[in-house]
Structure 1
Amino acid sequence: MSRKAAPAPPAADAAAPAPHYHGHRERLRDRFQEAGADALPDYELLELLLFRSIPQRDVKPLAKELIRRFGSFAEVLGAPASRLTEIKGVGQGVALDLKIVEAALHRMAKGAVAKRTVLSSWSAVLDYCRTTMAFAEREQFRILFLDKKNAVIADEVQQTGTVDHTPVYPREVVRRALELSASAVILAHNHPSGDPTPSGADMRMTRELVDIAKPLGIEIHDHVIVGRDGHVSFRGLGLI
């Protein structure tokens, strides 16, 4: 008695349907190429970065969660790796990739002011300060040391403090300026709260620094405070 032949198994080389997000990735890349970054909301620009870090998963929910948690594309890149990895789906490798992008942006902004006459490219100085400091979670006190032609000869973070305070020692600032033979300096620090309004301590420290530096022939061109909500220039406020 003959038996019916078992149905043939599916062909081994039958192509499985591509995951739904593959088409989305191509469409998003095409939109970026055709319309540029300005046409994309923050979460979609973040998706484009995550595509390379996470090639086998739909990353739109992760990108949206990162923006929701930290607030913006810039704040995601500025977040410490330890906080990024608190988000489900962000491992050490993904966090490292995001910090590499942040470092590249800092290096790019720094290149716009290095060895240039900063007073003729003031917008580049402000962009640099905002890129490097505005989204940091702790206060940093940065100094740009300038030569006689007002070109940057050194860029140093002198102090890193807490979320609302950085100790600054005016005599140390002047000592370092003398070591570098700087003729002028630009001071910059950030307010992690987001509000760049100068505090009473900021104003007192700046006045003390001006008083110490002036007799030594060192000019304080400006003190810039940056935050998520903008920036404040002491010179623009008439405080220097």
Structure 2
Amino acid sequence: MPPKPAAEETEEKPHYLGHRQRLRDRLLQNGAGSLQDYELLELLLCLAIPRIDVKPIAKDLIRRFGSFAGVMAAEPDQLMEVSGIKESTAAAIKIVQGAALLMQRQDVLQKPVLSSWKSVLDYCHSVMAHDQNEQFRLLFLDGKNALIADEVQSRGTVNHAPVYIREVVKRTLTLGAVSIIMAHNHPTGDPTPSRDDIDMTRAVQRALAEVGVNVHDHIIIGRKGHASLRSLGYLDAVKAR
């Protein structure tokens, strides 16, 4: 009798394997821009979950969090609420987010901040725009406008993050910063400054001026844009002594 075909020759390969290969080919030949959000996410997921069709999971994630960026910014426990996402997969997603933010941060570090303003805005947008709660962030600069440190000073609720002026002044002096840029996000998506935003900015500016530190700007980040309080004319004409 003729020999039986090997098992691998008789088993039909899962349909999604050919689909994945086509996505890989497009990615390598034409770059990530040639893929839809869910397709790029699908390629990431298949590295963490190789033995199942992850296309439905990718679409569920995009539907839940609104976009690829929204998925990357989601908290691990939120990601694991989606069927099919375990701890290891959530970790893989956060690794990709961390790598992207590190690349942007290093780009900001390599140049004087005020001469690479678009990079600063892109970085702030990446780290803050999709946060579901407000965060208040400070970028500390030296005398050549190079970034000394980038720190989140406080996290709050969906519409408020506390700002402690004494702590801002203390941290600025500790780091030896000559100037700072303030930034916070509006989870509602609208970057229009509130009256409280304007008053707080001026209060911080006056306090820092007393110790010889300038406030270059206060940037408010929304999901689809930003507002600069300096460009809007809300920063007082106060110079550091």
Which residue matches 2:208?
Answer: 213
TM-score normalised over the length of structure 1? 0.93
Which residue matches 1:102?
Answer: 97
Aligned-pair CA distance for 1:108: 1.1
Instruction: Choose from 30, 33, 36 the match for 1:41.
Output: 36
Instruction: Choose from 131, 139, 153 the match for 2:134.
Output: 139
Letter in 1 for 2:145: N
Which residue matches 2:68?
Answer: 73
Partners of 2:19 and 2:58 in 1: CA distance: 14
Task: String of CA shifts for 1:69-96, please: whole Å, max 9, x gaps.
Answer: 1100000010011111111111111111
SS at match of 1:216: coil
Instruction: Choose from 176, 179, 182 the match for 2:174.
Output: 179
Task: String of CA shifts for 1:40-60, please: whole Å, max 9, x gaps.
Answer: 111111111111011111111
Instruction: Choose from 185, 188, 193 the match for 2:183.
Output: 188
Instruction: Choose from 106, 114, 124 the match for 1:119.
Output: 114
Runs of 4+ in 1 over 6 A off after TM superposition: none
Which residue matches 2:7?
Answer: 13
SS at match of 1:31: helix
Task: String of CA shifts for 1:161-203, please: whole Å, max 9, x gaps.
Answer: 1111100012221121111111100001111111111111111
Aligned length: 234
Alignment of 1:163 with 2:184, yes or no, is: no
Alignment of 1:230 with 2:240, yes or no, is: no
> Any conservation in 2 of the 1:143–1:156 contact (CA below 8 Å)?
yes
Partners of 1:128 and 1:107 in 2: CA distance: 9
Structure of greater Rg? 1
Partners of 2:208 and 2:230 in 1: CA distance: 16
Letter in 2 for 1:27: R
Aligned-pair CA distance for 1:213: 1.3
Aligned-pair CA distance for 1:34: 1.5
Which residue matches 1:4?
Answer: none
Letter in 2 for 1:194: G
Task: String of CA shifts for 1:15-50, please: whole Å, max 9, x gaps.
Answer: 211110110011011111122111111111111111
Alignment of 1:203 with 2:198, yes or no, is: yes
Unaligned runs of 5+ in 2: 236-241
> Any conservation in 2 of the 1:141–1:188 contact (CA below 8 Å)?
yes
> Any conservation in 2 of the 1:70–1:76 contact (CA below 8 Å)?
yes
Which residue matches 1:51?
Answer: 46
CA RMSD of aligned residues (A): 1.6
Task: String of CA shifts for 1:118-159, please: whole Å, max 9, x gaps.
Answer: 000001111110111111111111101111111111111111
Partners of 1:199 and 1:14 in 2: CA distance: 65
Which residue matches 2:59?
Answer: 64
Letter in 1 for 2:220: I
Unaligned runs of 5+ in 1: 1-6
SS at match of 1:65: helix
Alignment CA distance shift 1:178-1:14 (3 Å): closer
Letter in 1 for 2:124: C
Which residue matches 2:144?
Answer: 149
Aligned-pair CA distance for 1:215: 2.7
